[in-house]
Structures are given as structure tokens and as C-alpha cells.
Structure 1
Amino acid sequence: MVKAAIMGHGTVGSGVYEVFEMNAEKITRVLGVPVEVKYVLDLRDFSALPYGNKFVTDFSVIENDPEISVVAEVMGGVGAAYEFTKRCLQAGKSVCTSNKELVATRGEELLRIAQAHGVNYMFEASVGGGIPIIRPMLQCLAANEFDEICGILNGTTNYILTQMIHNGVTFEDALKQAQLNGYAEKDPTADIEGHDACRKICILSDLAFGDKFDPDAVSCEGITKITLEDVANADKLGCVIKLLGRSVRCEDGTAYAYVAPHLIHKESPLAAVEDVFNAIMINGNATGEVMFYGKGAGKLATASAVVADMMDCMEHRDHRRRIMWGDGSRCLLRPLDTLQSAWYVRFKGSQKDMEAVLPVESVTEPVDGVVVVKTSKLATADMQKKIQQLNACGKVCAAMRML
């Protein structure tokens, strides 16, 4: 019998226990031995649960038990989760996590500690929830150089945008709906400001390019400024608005990485990804575009990915997964200044002024003094200068990249 522990009994943690119970027969069949969750770490009182006797409040119980070989870290954050993960790895226990913040900010360090102690630090659930993406990148697509990664990486923002696009709901009301449905937290900042998606694109970039992409250094813009007017204008241009995390490899080995709302053409596979679903497109130099689609969050979907990582660690106890990236010293993150994009611009002012400043590809008839323009490709720095010029003679109400 293999014995495991779970650190945290929130949504995902309780889901991890449930998956082990629900699929015990299948898991035993795959591993050849049964698995027992011996401990669940949480400070709250869960004594009324059928497995209430498994709860402990002292982490050292898990740390010092030689029977525990694999631990699920589903606590979240970078405080106790970081400290406990580090100590588990140092104690010779593999750790599997859904904690995207911890992986994005301290993953390189924790992977080095895991390597030094001959164990694994695995995090399939940290990017796509129930969508397999880490293992395919490391195994199925391992023969590729990755040219681009682009995806809808946050289900909450995608749900909000879907409500705005299809039901004409304002951003504020769509956010309230998301909170009522349990898709958004009481404090939704990490989702709507793009921080959650930023951590995920950083992890994917770390894996793709082999060095750390610091979330604090990556440009990150959320969806709070998007209006129903922008949604309607996008539709007229044959597009929908999606919040994308994107990473693009350059010829010199550096890469752009950023999060921002984009207008994408309705013909794009990403345009059809709606509600809380996520999708990630990876462009390999051998495979071309490959897309991964599914629920990017949710109790059992995320838990299934954590449990699968734990099973991998149990089945291959004598074989470390070769997952590593650098500490950021290669400075692969390229400033967005030179990234070329077509742009959507909503401008309140003279059409003549706008056409004198922007390389216009198409323009709408002014409505109440507002003009909508699609530009030809412009570098980010050039676009920022032109926005300043336009604001001197009117007001740029919105400017978004087009993909």
C-alpha cells in the first residue's frame, strides 16, 4: 500500500480526497497497489466528516512520517504552502500541486530542491486545471521548438466576456453573475485584472523556453475596461473579445510574454471557447498548431490532474521527471515595445485627426463623434506614442490588439 497526504481541504483538496475514494478501484488497478490518504492537513474542524479522523493541524506529523511518500499541496498562496512544500521535498517526499502562484514565483527553486533529494515536484493542475498541458509539452511535443503559446487561461473572465457577447450584460452585472455561480471569488482581482492568466502563461513560458519568466515583469492587462460598445464594435469587425495569455518566441531566442484582451476573428478556434472553458494553442515547429480544450478549473477537474500527478510519482518512485528551468538570469523576456500587432481603436474626436495619426486599414462612420478604426500592424511603442498624439486632440476610449 502507498500512503499519501493532502495539505489543504478547500475546494480542490476535498476534491483530491474524493477522487481517491471515487476511483479507488481504478487507481489500484493502474498502480498495482492500493493508495491510502493517511493525513489531511487543515486548521479547521472537519471532525464531522466520515474521514474526520485523518485530519491533522500540525504539518510536522506529515513531514516526519516515513510512510508518506507523496503529498498534494492544494493550500494556495506562497506563504505556508511554500514552506511546507520545501520541507516535504527536503524530507524525500514528492509534492504535486495546483498552486499556480507558487509554481510561477518559486517553481525553479522547488524543482532544484526536488532534484537534490531525488523526488518530484509536479504541477499539471496549475495551468489548465483538468486540461492536460504540462505533460503533453514535456512528452508528446518534446521534439518541438515552441514558437508560440496562446490561450484563454482563465474561466472566470471567459464567462464574463461570454455573457457580455451573447446576452448584452454589462461587465459589472456579468461579474456579479459569476460570483453568484461560484465562478468568481468575493475578491475577483486576480481573475479580472489578468494576474491568474499571467501566472499561467509564465509557467508555460518557463517550460517552453527553459528560463524563468517572472510574473511581476510580464505585462498584464485585465478586462475591467471593456464595454458593451467594444463588444458590439468587435462583432461588426467579425471578431469577439477574449482575454489571452500569449508567449511568442523570437529568432534570437528571447520571447514576448503578456496578458491582454484581444479582438480575435470568429473563424479562430479560440473564438468558439465560451463560458468557463479554457483553451490553449501551442505552435510547435514540427507539429504546427495543437489545441487543448476543456474545463480550466472546478473541484473534480482540477483534483483529477493533481491525483494523476500523484499516481505518476507513486508509479515511478525511482525515476525523476526531468522538469527544470533556469533562474531568469538568461533574461529571455523581451520588452513588448517592438511587438507588432494590428489594433482596434475607439476614438472620440475628429475622423480626420485619427486618420492623420494612425495607419488606417478600415474605419467606421462616426456615431455621436466616436470613430472606430482597425489599423495595420504597429509596434507597441509606436502605438503608445500615437495614443498620446490622439489624446491631445480628442480621447482614445479603447485600444486593443487584434489577432
Structure 2
Amino acid sequence: MKRSTLELQGFRGLAALSTVVFHVWQQYYTYDAEGSHPPVDNPWLGALISLEVIDLFFVMSAYLLTLSYARAAIDEGSVRPGKVFLFRRAVRILPLYFLAVLVVWASRNPTLPGDWRDLVEHLTFTHIFDRERIFYTLGPSWSLSLEIAFYLSLVALGPLAIRACRRLSTRRARVALCASGCVALFAAPVAWIAFAHHVLGIPHTNWPVYFGPQARFGGFAAGMGLAVLLVALGERGRIAGRWSVLLSVASLAGLYALSYASAPENLAHTYYHPLAALLWFVLLLATLHVRQRVRGQAVLRARWVTAVGLISYSLYIWHEPVMLQLDKTGWLPPGPSGFPLGVLIVLAVALPTALLSYWLVEYPGSLLVRAKDGAGRPREFYPAARSPEREPEPVGAPQPVR
């Protein structure tokens, strides 16, 4: 496995574990009957637990999937046809997602017709536009709706960008065009958030307004910008080890400060996700564009972390139903003091469940992709000069607590 791919998988593993902890924290905070305070009274520790990682998933996904388009646009390489790209994404995401939706929905709607609208919206990824049902069935799956929207946008915009760039005579002009497009895609959601909050006065609890593509595409734009930047730089300007450490520490400190300051009355809350996307951008840049491996990043390459990264999509899909079932049957200890043990119990059940799901559902799907590639001239879909990065594991996000 390539160095950068291994470290990105490590990021996925740590982020997936953070998501599980976040959801258990949210379960105790939102539904526990013993009080109105989070199970962690220390605000410094609470800020760490409640630090949302959804934007990291979006930035990583967009970075990896945009690389081939950026290389084709800037260096005139080739790229997968849109139908091949969408086939690979569909095989990777849809079987497990549809299975989980049907199983969880059926368990919660034992008599027909049940909440048929919730089922239809989840199967069509339109639940993100329903304020009431956005977190029904599989709560974290709202982020998959954004992933699907990004895939379709990339397939539509990518070829247009490539054609526009090939009309330009210099590499610098092609880089400038791609970079300006990423900046525009990042600025548009920021403008929408400002308009919705400051002009229309729409509350943050109107989830479709602040969780839809019009508000959350900034994370994907940051990832696209990272792909453009690294393709433009090539081997130039690689960061020295000490600067990589300093940038990493600064970005992590910024993310922590953002989480700590993100009370509903603060601007940090309103613009949390665009700011977080920029900070994740810096952290990934400091990780990927380095001269040599940095000792402080060894945790990203640890086998147990990358192993969790491998099954992170299954963990994302199943951890919430597992947690709710454990709570329903009384396996989660009650009260705020039970939160640490509750985390361990959920992980003890969710991780084996995710591992089984990976081998029974995800891995056979990956074999189908390889079989089709093996019979379908795989090499011509990639830039001639470089092999592509591995496509990302789709990982979800925590439900909103803000």
C-alpha cells in the first residue's frame, strides 16, 4: 500500500472511532433521563469528544476522487469514463447501505405500511431534505446523501474542467483555472450560510438548510483544492519534517479551539464546517506533501488503526443501530457516569459486527469491481504517468449536536 494511502486509511480509522464515541456521548446527552448535562462535565474534555470529523471525511473523499481529474486537466492525462466511476462507487456503497436501511427500517416498522415515506427517502438519498426524517432509520447516513451529490457533480463538472483546461496553452493557466473553480465552490456554501443565518434568520435546527449540499459542499471543495494543489506542486515544495509537525499541531489546535468555542450564540458555530474544512485541508497537506515520513504520524500507520480504517464504512453503517439496540435492551449502563463503559460496550459489539459486514458484503463487492476492471481494459482509465490513489472508503458522520 502506498504511504499516503496507508496514512489516509489511518485517518479514516481514527475518525470512525471518534464518530462512535461522539454518538455514544450524544446518546447519553440527548436521551439520558438523569440530567440535562453531557456525561463529561469538563468542558475541555467535552470539546475533544464533541469535535466533529465529518468534514475530514468529505475532504479526504473529494481529494482522492478528484486526483485523476486534476491530473487530466493540468497535465493532460486520461481519466475514467463517468459510467465506470459511478459503477465503482455504486458497488462500493449501495449494497451495504440498502441492506442496512431495509433491516433497520423493518425492525422499527413491524406493521405495514409503516413510515413508508422515511423508507423511500432513505433509499433515494433524499432524506437530507426532510427536516423531520433526516436522522431517521440510519441517523448518520445524511452524509451519504452529500457523497452521492458530490459523485454526480464530479462526473458532470470534471469533464467540463478538463475540456476548458485543454484550451489553455500553459500549465500555470490550467492550474489557475482549476484552483479558481475550487475557490468558487468553497465560497458559494459560505455565502449561503451567511445569507440563511444573517439575512433570513433561519435557526440552526432547520437541518436541511444547513446540512444540504448548498451549505456543506465546502468540505468537498477543500478536498478538490487539495488535489489540485498537490498535482500542481508535484514533487516541488515538499514540507520538511519539523514544519509538517508544526502545521499538524497548529491545525489540530485550531480544530480543538473551534470545537470549544462552538456554542450556538457564537459565529464559530455558524461557520464551524467551512472553517473545519480549511483546518483539515492543512492537516492533510502536512501529512501527504512531506519529504519523508514523520515520526509523529506513526499512529496513522499502526496496524490496528488502519484495520479499523479498512472496515470504517461498515462501522459507520452499523454502530448506531448497535448502540440503540444495546440501550433498548439495557446493556448500556445508565447515567452520566456510565458513559466511559458505554463506549467500550458499543465498540466491543460494533467492531466485530463491522468486521463481519466487511467480509460478507463489502469485500465481495470489491471483487466484482476487480473482475470488471480485469475484463475492461483498466489501464486506459488512468493517467499514463502515474497510477491512481486508492479510492476512499465512504464513511459517514455524526449526527448534529449543535
- Fold shared per TM-score above 0.5: no
Larger Rg: 1
The structure that is strand-richer by fraction is 1
The structure that is helix-richer by fraction is 2
Q: Which has the higher contact order (CA 8 A, sep 6+)?
A: 2
TM-score normalised to structure 2 length: 0.27
